Amino acid sequence: MQPADEIFKQVSSMSVSSTNKAIARHALSVIGGTPAVHGYFDAEEKSSIDVLGCSGSPCTDASTHATIGLSESSSGFFSDGKEIGVEVVMAAYDRYPLIPNIVSTCAFNRINSQMSIHPGAVHRNVIREYYPESTMAHVLFILPFFWDARLKSTMIENRLVSWLYSIPISNAELEFLDRRGFEALEGELYRADVDILDIGRPGLILPH
Q: Are strands 122-123 and 138-142 parallel, antiparallel or unpaired?
A: antiparallel
pLDDT digits (tens, 9 = 90+) for 6-53: 555 555 445 788 999 999 999 999 999 999 999 999 999 999 999 999
Q: Are 195 and 201 in contact (CB under 8 A)?
A: yes
* Average of per-residue pLDDT values in the chain: 92
Mean pLDDT of 140-165: 92
pLDDT at 174 over 80: yes
Cα–Cα separations (whole angstroms), residue 147 to 31, 86, 91: 6, 18, 12
From CA 20, how far away is CA 72, in angstroms rounded?
9
Q: What is the model's pLDDT at position 59?
A: 96
Q: Of 9-13, 79-83, 156-160, which range is least confident? A: 9-13
pLDDT at 208 over 90: no
Domain boundaries, the chain: 4-192
Q: What is the model's pLDDT at position 42?
A: 94
Mean pLDDT of 75-104: 96
- Other CB atoms within a 10 A radius of the CB of residue 148 amount to 8
pLDDT at 176 over 60: yes
Percentage above 90 pLDDT, the chain: 86
pLDDT at 96 over 60: yes
Mean pLDDT of 182-203: 96
* pTM of model > 0.85: yes
pLDDT at 1 over 80: no
Q: What is the model's pLDDT at position 15?
A: 74
Q: What is the model's pLDDT at position 9?
A: 54
DSSP assignment of 10-70: T--SS---HHHHHHHHHHHHHH-SEEEEEEEE-TTSS-EEEEEEEET-SSTTEEEEEEESG
